[in-house]
Amino acid sequence: MITVKLPDETEKEYPENSSALDVAASIGSRLADATVAAEIDGLIVDAMRPLEEVTETRPIPLRLLTERDPEALGVLRHSCAHVMARAVMKLYPGVNLAFGPTLGQGFYYDFDLERPISEDDFARIESEMKSIIKQKEPFERFSLDRDEALKFCDGMDQSLKVEHIETGLADHHTLSFYRQGEFVDLCRGPHIPDAGKIKAFKLLSVAGSYWKGDAQNRRLQRLYGTAWFSKKDLNKYLNQIEEAKRRDHRVLGKKLGLFTISNDVGQGLCLWQPKGAIVRSLLEDFIKRELLNRGYEPVYSPHIGRAKLYEMSGHFPYYRDSQFTPIFGHDGGQMIDFWIRKLDPKDEDYVEPSADEEQKLLEAAAVMGIDLSAFPKSGSVEDKLQVLRKWQDQQERYLLKPMNCPHHVQIYKSQPRSYRDLPVRLAEFGTVYRHEQSGELNGMLRVRGLTQDDAHLFCTPDQVEEEFRSTLELVQFVLKSVGLEDYRVVLSLRDPDSNKYVGSAENWDRAEATLRHVLTEAGFNFVEEPGEAAFYGPKADFMVRDCLGREWQLGTVQLDYNLPERFELEYIGSDNAAHRPVMIHRAPFGSMERFVGMLIEHFAGAFPLWLAPEQVRILPLSDKHLDYAKQVESQFRSAGFRITVDQHSAKVNAKIRQAQLDLIPYMVIVGAQEEAQGAVSLRDRIDGDLGEMPIDEAISKLKKEVKEKIIRQSFEADFSGIEAASEVSNEY
């Protein structure tokens, strides 16, 4: 007999080899029917597996997972991936299976198959899947030892699985498989008891991928799908996808004239059109005022700086690949730079240059007027490098700034600092340039020139905690004022096994402990992610959920014990001795581009009144009322509103329609009636006609809405059921 302990602490005895399903059945047949998987000792496992096989713990702690538990969705989706793979194999013989894990709200499976799969094939695959599901065949688990498993996969002609067992799973003695009808797959599980549990699914897209995610490897075809316990949930999810498409900031940005990206200017370089620029400057003004209140000092710094500066800070060497090429003062600068990198044995692409190549480079240098007479042709690489570096150091070499911090550091260093001056908080909307991979660029969300609402705090070690706390508070405040109150914080820590980080272990420990302590104390919902820290320090990123439940990484607060060290920053303490300050980098919005892009999607282009580029549009009933309309316009304008008059010769219905489509928050309709009364008729974009009222009344109503930054959205999201389900790790 075995003893099982349920979440309510009750303990029961069951015969050996009992499964979670048996336990469920003993409680009730409906529960047995609803049980999808089980959680034992924190591990999600098959409901049909003998309990004692899973854990050594006695009594066995068991939690039954039903369709109501989010964890169950991951299990369902992985099983659906198997069903999809089975269907694909049936339809297209010769398929080689790769991996097929679950994702936040779906799953995919990678196939190696000559014949390209297109969306036109989806209907066929789906109907094959349907007939598989109809048979309600069980998922059966069995284990084989290494040799048997290899033979087994080889026998099925699954060479990728064979390769995976030999490489990725080299340290596994036994391997588990799941059988479902004629389909067998190497898989860690868990799976649902039988395919009949898949009540609703849909194939979503097909895309290319690589074996083990490496572009050097063979290309695979990846089929994406999603699965749910009910048709209703599936439809809800599909609606969410549609809604997300409708809100695409690239489409809305074009339609509403917010921003544009011109090929002539360059990839990933965002041009703010007047309407977008207004939104941005309102946000900047808002945060600037807030910063002044909180003891920040605005500064300005140029867009470029000497490459040496960024070599000193560590950014240039570390992020060289994602930087724009340096600006060289000498035409030959780039060639020497190339040479230096080629000679440097530390460089990844290091290939020893041949004597012939070296000779050619020397000749080219001579032609370009570079004096390398000291170059030791038969000397050591180090000696050669020294000559080249010496020449380079004498030249102008600038970088488009990838970060603002080195400039702010220089401002800090421009005068002696006393402990009485600290913390020094230097703030700048600093535009930085990063040469992101072309495939990564995406509207305003991923650009090559971005403006951070940046600031750097220089403080004593004792002040770190308080400064970090108040910074978090600032981010909270800022997000709240644009109606973003649903977020979590990701605390990114270093990976203790990696050597990519700079600074001492003690400093890291101290920094991480401080962040953890403040976040805990302030009651933040946060998770720790080891290995995700920046190379110079741990960071706390704000992951903000928009009204569709999508997460965006926006604001960030980062601790830095490294730059003060590298730049030898100091302040004089009360003991009259020099001490090293600590730096905090922080950007509540992250970047203006990304933040505004996110806001466009969050509001579906319909900004709240205080941010709307065009707040009010006057719609004269006919040309006869144009004069009065202009009079009303000037009254609103002197009250501070962004307002226009629709002067088209169209019926008021058409003007209203246009204003609605342009997402103008308020329309003011004026005709003979209003003119006679010296009044206006107000129409709300969301609630429609508000009736006639005196101009003053309309103005003060709108003023109040602006002042309080009221957010009214016509969109009622109901995606509560489809928050990202926990991802179940079910790959080998």
Which residues here bind RNA, judged by CB under 7 A?
Answer: 205, 207-210, 213, 215, 219, 222, 250-251, 254-255, 261, 263, 267-268, 315, 319, 322-323, 402-403, 434-443, 446, 534-535, 556, 558, 621-624, 648-654, 656-657, 660-661, 667, 669, 671-674, 681, 683, 688-689, 691-692
- Among residues 405, 408, 547, 558, the one annotated as catalytic is 405
Q: Which residues contact 428 (CB under 8 A, 6 or more apart)?
A: 298, 299, 300, 301, 404, 408, 454, 455
Complex with RNA: residue 162 or 223, whichever CB lies closer:
223
- Among residues 585, 594, 617, 625, the one annotated as catalytic is 585
Q: CA–CA separation, 423 vs 581, rounded Å?
A: 9
- The verdict on whether 405 is a catalytic residue reads yes
Least CB distance from residue 516 to RNA, whole Å? 19
- Among residues 110, 233, 453, 454, the one annotated as catalytic is 454
Complex with RNA: residue 259 or 391, whichever CB lies closer:
259
Complex with RNA: residue 30 or 624, whichever CB lies closer:
624
- Under 8 Å between Cβ of 161 and 186: yes
- The verdict on whether 585 is a catalytic residue reads yes
DSSP string, 38-85: EEETTEEEETTSBGGGT---SSEEEEEEETTSHHHHHHHHHHHHHHHH
Q: Could you give the count of Cα atoms lying within 13 Å of 209 in the half-sphere of its Cβ?
A: 19
Complex with RNA: residue 190 or 443, whichever CB lies closer:
443
Least CB distance from residue 250 to RNA, whole Å? 5
Least CB distance from residue 561 to RNA, whole Å? 15
Least CB distance from residue 310 to RNA, whole Å? 8
Q: In this structure, is the dihedral angle defined by the CA atoms of residues 265, 266, 269 and 271, taken in order, positive or negative?
A: positive
Least CB distance from residue 541 to RNA, whole Å? 9
| Exposed/middle/buried for residue 505 (C-beta within 10 Å: 0-12, 13-18, 19+) | exposed
Complex with RNA: residue 336 or 669, whichever CB lies closer:
669
Least CB distance from residue 453 to RNA, whole Å? 13
Q: What is the DSSP letter of 272?
A: E
- Among residues 452, 476, 558, 615, the one annotated as catalytic is 452
Complex with RNA: residue 184 or 557, whichever CB lies closer:
557
- The verdict on whether 456 is a catalytic residue reads yes
Q: Nearest Cα to 197, choosing from 21, 4, 19? A: 21
- Among residues 280, 315, 494, 539, the one annotated as catalytic is 539
- Under 8 Å between Cβ of 602 and 484: yes
Q: What is the DSSP letter of 117?
A: P
Q: CA–CA separation, 329 vs 395, rounded Å?
A: 6
- Residues forming a β-bridge with 39: 44, 63
Complex with RNA: residue 267 or 634, whichever CB lies closer:
267
DSSP string, 651-708: -HHHHHHHHHHTT-SEEEEE-HHHHHHTEEEEEETTTEEEEEEEHHHHHHHHHHHHHT
- Under 8 Å between Cβ of 403 and 450: no
DSSP string, 447-500: -SEEEEEEEEEEE-GGGHHHHHHHHHHHHHHHHHHTT---EEEEEEE--TT---
Q: CA–CA separation, 85 vs 71, rounded Å?
A: 22
Least CB distance from residue 124 to RNA, whole Å? 19
Least CB distance from residue 145 to RNA, whole Å? 30
Scored b (16 or more CB within 10 A) or e, 177-197 reads bbebeebbbbbbbbbbbbbeb
Q: CA–CA separation, 585 vs 380, rounded Å?
A: 42
Complex with RNA: residue 373 or 653, whichever CB lies closer:
653
DSSP string, 256-268: TT-EE--TTT-TT
Q: Which residues contact 674 (CB under 8 A, 6 or more apart)?
A: 625, 628, 680, 681, 692
Phi-psi region of 295 (alpha: psi -120 to 50; beta: other; left: phi over 0): left
- Among residues 249, 401, 434, 683, the one annotated as catalytic is 434
Least CB distance from residue 317 to RNA, whole Å? 10
Q: CA–CA separation, 444 vs 232, rounded Å?
A: 34
- The verdict on whether 454 is a catalytic residue reads yes
- The verdict on whether 130 is a catalytic residue reads no
Complex with RNA: residue 370 or 632, whichever CB lies closer:
632
Q: CA–CA separation, 142 vs 150, rounded Å?
A: 14
Q: CA–CA separation, 216 vs 282, rounded Å?
A: 47
One-letter amino acid of 81: A
- Among residues 247, 280, 456, 617, the one annotated as catalytic is 456
Entry field: residues in the chain: 732
Complex with RNA: residue 119 or 521, whichever CB lies closer:
119
Least CB distance from residue 213 to RNA, whole Å? 4
Sheet strands side by side (includes 96-97):
96-97, 107-112, 219-228, 200-210
Least CB distance from residue 215 to RNA, whole Å? 5
- Under 8 Å between Cβ of 713 and 606: yes
Tell me the catalytic residues. Answer: 405, 434, 452, 454, 456, 539, 585
